[in-house]
Amino acid sequence: MLKIQRLCLILFIGMTGTCAAQETYRADVQSDDAIINALYAVISGGPGETRDWARFRNLFAPSARLIPTRKEDNRLILRTLSPDEYVQLFSSRISTGFYEKELVARTERYGTVVHRFSTYETRETKNGPVTNHGINSIQMFFDGERYYIITIFWCAENLGFPLPAALLPK
Protein backbone atom coordinates (compact mmCIF):
# COMPACT_ATOMS: atom_id res chain seq x y z
CA MET A 1 0.00 0.00 0.00
CA LEU A 2 2.85 2.37 0.84
CA LYS A 3 4.36 1.80 -2.63
CA ILE A 4 1.06 2.75 -4.29
CA GLN A 5 0.84 5.93 -2.20
CA ARG A 6 4.41 6.88 -3.16
CA LEU A 7 3.67 6.22 -6.82
CA CYS A 8 0.54 8.37 -6.64
CA LEU A 9 2.51 11.16 -4.96
CA ILE A 10 5.23 11.02 -7.62
CA LEU A 11 2.64 11.12 -10.40
CA PHE A 12 0.80 14.00 -8.73
CA ILE A 13 4.01 16.03 -8.33
CA GLY A 14 4.95 15.36 -11.97
CA MET A 15 1.52 16.40 -13.22
CA THR A 16 1.53 19.50 -11.00
CA GLY A 17 4.90 20.54 -12.44
CA THR A 18 3.59 20.10 -15.98
CA CYS A 19 0.45 22.09 -15.20
CA ALA A 20 2.51 24.84 -13.56
CA ALA A 21 4.78 25.07 -16.63
CA GLN A 22 1.75 25.21 -18.91
CA GLU A 23 0.27 28.07 -16.88
CA THR A 24 3.59 29.94 -16.52
CA TYR A 25 4.25 29.82 -20.25
CA ARG A 26 0.67 30.18 -21.49
CA ALA A 27 1.50 33.27 -23.59
CA ASP A 28 4.17 31.29 -25.47
CA VAL A 29 1.60 28.99 -27.06
CA GLN A 30 -1.27 31.35 -27.86
CA SER A 31 -0.23 32.05 -31.47
CA ASP A 32 2.07 30.62 -34.09
CA ASP A 33 4.28 33.71 -33.86
CA ALA A 34 4.45 33.48 -30.06
CA ILE A 35 5.53 29.83 -30.06
CA ILE A 36 8.23 30.49 -32.68
CA ASN A 37 9.52 33.52 -30.76
CA ALA A 38 9.63 31.45 -27.56
CA LEU A 39 11.47 28.63 -29.35
CA TYR A 40 14.26 30.91 -30.56
CA ALA A 41 14.42 32.80 -27.25
CA VAL A 42 14.75 29.72 -25.05
CA ILE A 43 17.66 28.13 -26.96
CA SER A 44 19.60 31.40 -27.22
CA GLY A 45 22.08 32.54 -24.59
CA GLY A 46 25.66 33.02 -23.55
CA PRO A 47 28.24 30.35 -22.68
CA GLY A 48 27.28 28.54 -19.49
CA GLU A 49 23.95 30.36 -19.33
CA THR A 50 21.21 28.02 -18.12
CA ARG A 51 18.34 27.65 -20.57
CA ASP A 52 14.76 27.39 -19.36
CA TRP A 53 14.21 23.80 -20.44
CA ALA A 54 10.77 23.62 -18.77
CA ARG A 55 9.69 26.46 -21.06
CA PHE A 56 11.25 24.63 -24.03
CA ARG A 57 9.44 21.36 -23.25
CA ASN A 58 6.13 23.20 -22.88
CA LEU A 59 6.28 24.20 -26.55
CA PHE A 60 6.11 20.61 -27.79
CA ALA A 61 3.46 17.92 -28.13
CA PRO A 62 4.33 14.73 -26.20
CA SER A 63 5.25 12.86 -29.41
CA ALA A 64 7.21 15.75 -30.98
CA ARG A 65 10.46 15.24 -32.87
CA LEU A 66 13.45 17.43 -33.73
CA ILE A 67 15.25 16.28 -36.87
CA PRO A 68 18.57 17.82 -37.87
CA THR A 69 20.12 17.08 -41.23
CA ARG A 70 23.84 16.38 -40.88
CA LYS A 71 26.82 14.95 -42.68
CA GLU A 72 28.48 11.71 -41.68
CA ASP A 73 31.20 10.12 -43.84
CA ASN A 74 30.32 12.60 -46.63
CA ARG A 75 26.71 11.35 -46.64
CA LEU A 76 23.69 13.42 -45.71
CA ILE A 77 21.70 11.75 -42.94
CA LEU A 78 18.93 12.50 -40.46
CA ARG A 79 18.94 12.21 -36.72
CA THR A 80 15.62 12.05 -34.90
CA LEU A 81 15.43 13.42 -31.36
CA SER A 82 12.73 13.85 -28.76
CA PRO A 83 12.70 17.24 -27.02
CA ASP A 84 14.43 15.62 -24.00
CA GLU A 85 17.14 14.12 -26.22
CA TYR A 86 17.64 17.52 -27.85
CA VAL A 87 18.08 19.12 -24.41
CA GLN A 88 20.71 16.51 -23.49
CA LEU A 89 22.56 16.92 -26.79
CA PHE A 90 22.44 20.72 -26.68
CA SER A 91 23.57 20.84 -23.05
CA SER A 92 26.50 18.51 -23.71
CA ARG A 93 27.72 20.12 -26.94
CA ILE A 94 27.17 23.87 -26.78
CA SER A 95 30.06 25.27 -24.75
CA THR A 96 30.19 28.63 -26.54
CA GLY A 97 27.32 31.04 -26.66
CA PHE A 98 24.52 30.19 -29.06
CA TYR A 99 22.08 32.74 -30.42
CA GLU A 100 19.59 31.82 -33.11
CA LYS A 101 16.99 34.13 -34.59
CA GLU A 102 14.43 34.03 -37.33
CA LEU A 103 15.17 36.14 -40.40
CA VAL A 104 12.33 35.27 -42.77
CA ALA A 105 9.08 33.44 -42.07
CA ARG A 106 6.67 31.80 -44.48
CA THR A 107 3.59 30.42 -42.78
CA GLU A 108 0.77 28.30 -44.19
CA ARG A 109 -2.35 27.30 -42.24
CA TYR A 110 -5.11 24.80 -42.78
CA GLY A 111 -7.52 23.72 -40.05
CA THR A 112 -5.42 22.40 -37.17
CA VAL A 113 -2.16 22.39 -39.18
CA VAL A 114 0.34 25.23 -39.30
CA HIS A 115 3.64 25.03 -41.18
CA ARG A 116 6.41 27.60 -40.73
CA PHE A 117 9.37 27.73 -43.09
CA SER A 118 11.77 29.75 -40.93
CA THR A 119 15.09 31.06 -42.26
CA TYR A 120 17.49 31.47 -39.34
CA GLU A 121 20.93 32.75 -38.49
CA THR A 122 23.17 31.68 -35.64
CA ARG A 123 25.87 33.52 -33.72
CA GLU A 124 28.13 32.64 -30.78
CA THR A 125 27.61 36.06 -29.18
CA LYS A 126 24.49 38.20 -29.29
CA ASN A 127 26.01 40.78 -31.64
CA GLY A 128 28.93 38.78 -33.03
CA PRO A 129 29.46 37.57 -36.56
CA VAL A 130 26.96 35.18 -38.11
CA THR A 131 28.27 31.61 -37.87
CA ASN A 132 25.60 29.89 -39.95
CA HIS A 133 22.25 30.19 -41.73
CA GLY A 134 19.65 27.56 -42.44
CA ILE A 135 16.00 26.66 -42.66
CA ASN A 136 13.82 25.30 -39.86
CA SER A 137 10.73 23.56 -41.20
CA ILE A 138 8.38 23.70 -38.22
CA GLN A 139 5.06 21.87 -38.11
CA MET A 140 2.55 22.88 -35.46
CA PHE A 141 -0.81 21.66 -34.24
CA PHE A 142 -3.53 24.03 -32.99
CA ASP A 143 -6.07 22.27 -30.78
CA GLY A 144 -8.41 25.26 -30.52
CA GLU A 145 -6.77 26.50 -27.32
CA ARG A 146 -3.00 26.43 -27.87
CA TYR A 147 -0.28 25.62 -30.35
CA TYR A 148 2.10 22.66 -30.07
CA ILE A 149 5.26 22.06 -32.05
CA ILE A 150 5.04 18.63 -33.66
CA THR A 151 8.24 18.58 -35.72
CA ILE A 152 11.26 20.76 -36.36
CA PHE A 153 13.22 19.50 -39.37
CA TRP A 154 16.25 21.60 -40.32
CA CYS A 155 19.12 21.95 -42.72
CA ALA A 156 22.06 24.30 -42.16
CA GLU A 157 23.79 26.21 -44.90
CA ASN A 158 27.17 24.83 -43.80
CA LEU A 159 26.10 21.45 -45.21
CA GLY A 160 26.69 22.94 -48.66
CA PHE A 161 23.28 24.42 -49.43
CA PRO A 162 23.48 28.23 -49.75
CA LEU A 163 20.19 29.95 -49.03
CA PRO A 164 18.45 31.35 -52.09
CA ALA A 165 17.93 35.12 -52.18
CA ALA A 166 14.16 34.63 -51.89
CA LEU A 167 14.64 33.18 -48.39
CA LEU A 168 16.93 35.93 -47.10
CA PRO A 169 15.81 39.26 -45.62
CA LYS A 170 15.17 41.97 -48.20
pLDDT in 10s for each residue of the chain, 170 residues: 555 655 444 555 555 555 566 678 999 999 999 999 999 999 999 988 899 999 999 999 999 999 999 999 999 999 999 999 999 998 887 778 999 999 999 999 999 999 999 999 999 999 999 999 999 999 999 999 999 999 999 999 999 999 988 888 88
How far apart, in whole angstroms, are the C-alpha atoms of residue 61 and residue 151? 9
Q: What is the pTM of this model?
A: 0.84
**Residue spans per domain, the chain:** 28-167
CATH class, range 28-167: alpha beta
Q: Is residue 56 within 8 Å of residue 87, measured between CB atoms? A: yes
Pick left, alpha or beta for residue 18 (phi over 0 → left; psi -120 to 50 → alpha; otherwise beta): alpha
Closest CA to 101 of 50, 30, 45: 45
